[in-house]
Amino acid sequence: MSKIIFVTGGARSGKSRFAEELAKKISDSVAYLATAEALDEEMKERISHHRERRSKNWKTIEEPIHVNLAVQNLNGSANVILLDCITLWISNLIHQNTDAAECRALDMLEAVFHKIRNSGQTLILISNEIGMGIISESPLNRQFADISGRVHQAISREADEVYFMVSGLPMKVKPC
């Protein structure tokens, strides 16, 4: 039976570690779909840290834009797909085409959800919760926050389980 799990929370709240542990409990057959791009030294270090922590048996796919095609191309070869990170993916979409980013994100997610629901696989999505701070003065930052918030709401509606991470502690917010 397919399942969609959404893990969200602040930066450095333990989201990835928690999601990785969930994936391990579900199956040894895991595909890690990474959206981050190593564009600077700090990001290279973060990516390296994540790689070292993951099981060596997991398949890693690096896809900054077309997550729907990456899921489709897996063709059921993994029982669990862990997609890390939605906010980085949204940022990539905005930088590629600011005006179409939200529609593209929602369309691609709809395709991913459809594929998962018809596959029997588990999808775990990880994202940063950015809607709890002040409203930015920057129009681009406001757009990013707005798109992220609406995409998170769409994911939460579709998800079977939603976890909010606080200081390494998961709070299950769906189902309540």
Clarify whether 50 is annotated catalytic: yes
d(CA 61, CA 83): 10
Of the pLDDT bands very low, low, confident and very high (cuts 50, 70, 90), residue 96 is very high
Do residues 151 and 102 touch, judged by C-beta distance below 8 A?
yes
Q: pLDDT digits over 141-160, tens only?
A: 999 999 999 999 999 999 99
Of the pLDDT bands very low, low, confident and very high (cuts 50, 70, 90), residue 39 is confident
Whole-prediction pTM = 0.93
User: Superfamily for 3-174?
Assistant: P-loop containing nucleotide triphosphate hydrolases (3.40.50.300)
β-strands 3-9, 30-34: how paired? unpaired
pLDDT at 47 over 80: no
Please tell me the predicted confidence (pLDDT) of residue 73: 96
Catalytic site residue from 50, 66, 95, 114: 50
